[in-house]
Amino acid sequence: MKRVIFLFFIGIYCFSCQNSTSKQAELSFYFWKTKFDWNEKDKLLVEKLAIKKMYIRFFDVDFDRETEKPVALSPIQNLEKFPSEKIKIIPVIFITNRTMKNMVHTDMADLAQKIYTKIKLIVQKIPFHEIQLDCDWNSKTKYNFFDLIKEIQKITQKENITISSTLRLHQIKFAEKEGIPPIKNTILMLYNMGNIQEEKTKNSIFELQTLHLYLSNFDKYPLEIDYALPIFSWGVVKRQGKVVALLNEWELTDKNNSFFEKINTHQFKVVKSHYHKETYLYKEDEIRYETITKENITQMIQLLKNKRTKFAKNVILYHFDSQLIEKFGVDFLKEIGN
């Protein structure tokens, strides 16, 4: 009898352990447009996917060579329409690496204060408890970027606001050289893996072999890591052998096919000069169509699970667009992180 009871409790323990390790990651989105727009279709998709938080790009920080000072660019508009009573908001600030390169250590406190003031100006009365800094730092700019994090942490600590940052694959593979940011949580950007300028590149958004190579030290990385997965596509425009533009969400359709000649499945030639939204395409320009498939997403997740013992608590999809979500399907996206 004692043996039976013992085995019973062992079974319960193992079952609970299995459940805790297989807990599904929470799904959220990046919102990367300059104007907040929220239609009925968007609302319905958010409800179906049970989205509880949204990472919204508030503005970019770039270095102005004329004034030799950092400037805030393209701030988000219409944020007052965001349904903050239902969904938590996380401000995301994109900081160019050249900003960090062209500034000195003593500038970081002032920049931190300006960033925080700008965030508060945009957010108004909407509550938030995290700020995410997005910067592709390297070994030469890490000290400035890490100091900027510390300065913002000083400003926000009384308000109990967490500071997180994004993480690129090279910052994991070469962590010893490029450093570990002074935070608890990072978000690994799992896209833009290939050299977009290379002629032999077929899909610069995702390359499984590249991902495999750059995750060699993944399980040793000391911070908590969430995952940012791509669900976007674009057209890479080449003119006289050089990439000159990216056409977000471009694809060949019945409406535009008279402007293009199909070379192969993923390459097209412009046969009539015309505007695509705000980008002017010239005759003889070439377009390489790059996209992400369900199979690509599945491959990424499987490799991440194989390379790191602990799976992410959060999976963030880049980026929120009802057409993109419908392309993958609600059921498929719900299964991400299982």
Domains within the chain, CATH numbers bracketed: 25-232+291-335 (3.20.20.80), 233-290 (no CATH)
- Name the residue with tokens 């690509």: 296
- pLDDT at position 324 is 85
Phi, psi values for residue 40, rounded to 5°: -65, -35
Residues 138, 144, 148, CA angle at the centre, nearest 5°? 120
CB proximity list for 14: less than 8 A, separation 6 or greater: none
- pLDDT at position 249 is 86
Q: What is the Cα 154 distance to its own chain's centre?
A: 25
Cα–Cα distance, 89 to 94 (Å, whole number): 16
- pLDDT at position 23 is 66
C-alpha distances (whole Å) from 87 to each of 37, 45, 51, 77, 84 are 15, 13, 7, 18, 5
336 sits in the region (left: phi over 0; alpha: psi -120 to 50; else beta) called beta
Nearest-CA neighbor of 338 among 300, 317, 311?
Answer: 311
Cα–Cα distance, 161 to 133 (Å, whole number): 13
Q: What is the pLDDT of residues 1-10, one digit of tens each?
A: 444 444 434 4
Cα–Cα distance, 251 to 288 (Å, whole number): 10
Buried b (16+ CB within 10 A) or exposed e, 148-170: bbebbbebbeeeebbbbbbbbbe
- pLDDT at position 291 is 95
54 bridge partner residues: 29, 89
- pLDDT at position 9 is 42
| Per-10-residue mean pLDDT, the chain, length 338 | 44 42 83 92 92 97 96 96 94 98 96 98 96 98 98 96 98 97 97 93 95 95 98 96 94 92 95 95 97 96 95 96 89 90
pTM of the predicted protein model: 0.91
Q: How many CA atoms, within 13 angstroms, populate the side-chain half-sphere of residue 96?
A: 14
Q: What is the pLDDT of residues 248-288, one digit of tens each?
A: 989 889 889 999 999 999 999 999 999 999 999 999 999 99
- pLDDT at position 202 is 92
